[in-house]
Structure 1
């Protein structure tokens, strides 16, 4: 046989052998590009994949309160995903938070405008009031500073707007808490606002159960635990004396916002006692809430006294399970506090800054 013919036959035989080996090997131990699989899984709902939230799988970091979702447990099985919590998504149930400008500028009264988009693509025009307002806007920098609780005004086109204190550079999270008239539940949508400038992030204060500012002291007690209904209580004093003439604020004697460290997940809390106009209460303010996971949380308590709304801030470490409180003296959670820098007088329009 001539040399060219021999080479051709040899090449064809070699290719056939490699093809057969690859096919057999793939059947028992497939060769897969993990990067391609990861992207495909993230985009394929049938495989349980999801996009839009990084749980730390690429960086090795753990999400708040535990190991990465889906990471192997000591027994070898994947860890169950944690419960869904509000505030992590810009859209839900077909409703979306649309900021007019995610970089609105720098200043102590920067107008932030946005629209709540309905499932049909138009602006939501009908709301069901919750806590006496159609919509609550919570603004906080991602290092948990600069907290503000605001009540925007809505025009006839469905656009909401409100002046926001954005004097410090950084990335701020804005939460729109509202209930469309067509739904029976409340939605909380979140988006980021960017403020240019030199960013000097603050460290989250260490746990403590005391907060004080301008003669006021607030003590936090309770037994929070992950995944169970918990009651937390705040006791307000001024110059050492109990404050028993707290004023109604949003239908109660206080309003509580809880944010999870790491992703700023937003927790819904419910005041135990309601309040009506002219009624006075205190010194205790109680709330019921469920912390979805163990880990660290930042709590912001708004309360009204002397015509001003004040904000007491605490850091809480939530254990995996709640301890059992005594009937007479509930044990205090592991918490921390930092004084609020300012107060805001009650305004006729109902818009209040919590900081």
Structure 2
């Protein structure tokens, strides 16, 4: 099995480095300055116990990989880039969605028979070209996997075994999308953190978005794991630690604003709740407002933390 990891950013890069360090065959697809740095210097993985550099084949597009039997396409791009990636893949390759949100698997199933979802619990960072940071130790993350729409097969078990060998906690689970909907509810707060920064008061605003999301999922008849199930799965596994003397700055959306990428995936996180709300007649003012504001912030190059929690709450109240 060869892992073709498409999107070597925070999550994809940490998984790639860990897999390569455990002896797995890994190929990267990246772009821009990040691709140039990887090709020149290798992928630098920073962890609490030191740095490792992995010199891996890296390409600018999936079409240039040179696909062969046994390859697995691991999508680690933001959801807004998924469709463009899928259109470049061989139609017989297994597709693994190492991504937040729940829309990626649906998009892949339109084109591919063998689709797998991973519930990503992997605090990580990518803020400079060629460098990714694993922010938990001694276990870097929890990466449960399953077939979509449900079930477990030999491919899922083999991928889980590779992830375990690479140091992750991972299990093949038949109800992976149920787990991913729970992670979606958690990721609704990404927009709040990015807009307001990591300050007092963001938890209360994020809770509004989460409660709205739960109401929508219940109206849509979509199953998700309970908060207690999620707590039991996480346990004490994920322990944030300083890396190179620094603690975690923020999540994926925060990092997108910090890096001035021009885009965030809020349309596929908060926007998923907005979509389901419209389909099932449930108002979603909190998620729609957060989605709109963080997308506008990304497009305008606004840095994280430009709004206070009270300002964001007022903007939500204005549209209720």
Specify the TM-score bucket, using the shorter chain as the normaliser. under 0.3
Larger Rg: 1 or 2?
A: 1
Which structure has greater helix proportion? Answer: 2
Q: TM-score, normalised by structure 1?
A: 0.24
Q: TM-score, normalised by structure 2?
A: 0.26
